[in-house]
Amino acid sequence: MASTIKNSVQLIGNLGKDVALTTFDSGTVKATITIATNDYYTNNKGEKIQQTEWHNLIAWGKTAELMSQSLVKGNEVAIQGKLSNRSYEDKDGNTRYVTEVIVNEFYKLGKQA
């Protein structure tokens, strides 16, 4: 059981924009998704504060296709996946680091159209 939770992520959030679907020459399909999650806390003045975090998601294959077909900007979605870290060099030669969630499963929440 421990091996299944070593790198496990579960999030519920809202899509910040429509799913971006890319099909590569090899036929492989990739979806790029951004979701926002909200946390709330009360500051020392008694004011309720909303803190929004943005998460970059990647899905591959059939999961990517299904996400593209069933999700649009604003939808609430629950995802299960794993963290992935990568780096790349930008046009100015600076190393940039990216953390993404690789989606294994997703569930559209809220009202079904």
What is the tens place of the pLDDT at every residue in 6-46?
899 999 999 999 999 999 999 999 999 999 999 999 999 99
> What's the pLDDT score for residue 19?
97
Minimal CA–CA distance to 62: which of 30, 33, 32? 30
Measured CA to CA, the distance from residue 11 to residue 40 in angstroms comes to 16
Multiple choice CATH, 2-109, 3.40.50.620, 2.40.50.140, 3.30.70.20, 3.40.190.10? 2.40.50.140
> What's the pLDDT score for residue 29?
97
* Mean pLDDT across the chain: 93
Measured CA to CA, the distance from residue 56 to residue 46 in angstroms comes to 32
Query: pLDDT tens across 70-110, in order?
Result: 999 999 999 999 999 999 999 999 999 999 999 999 999 98
Minimal CA–CA distance to 35: which of 68, 82, 70, 76? 76
pLDDT tier at 112, thresholds 50, 70, 90: low
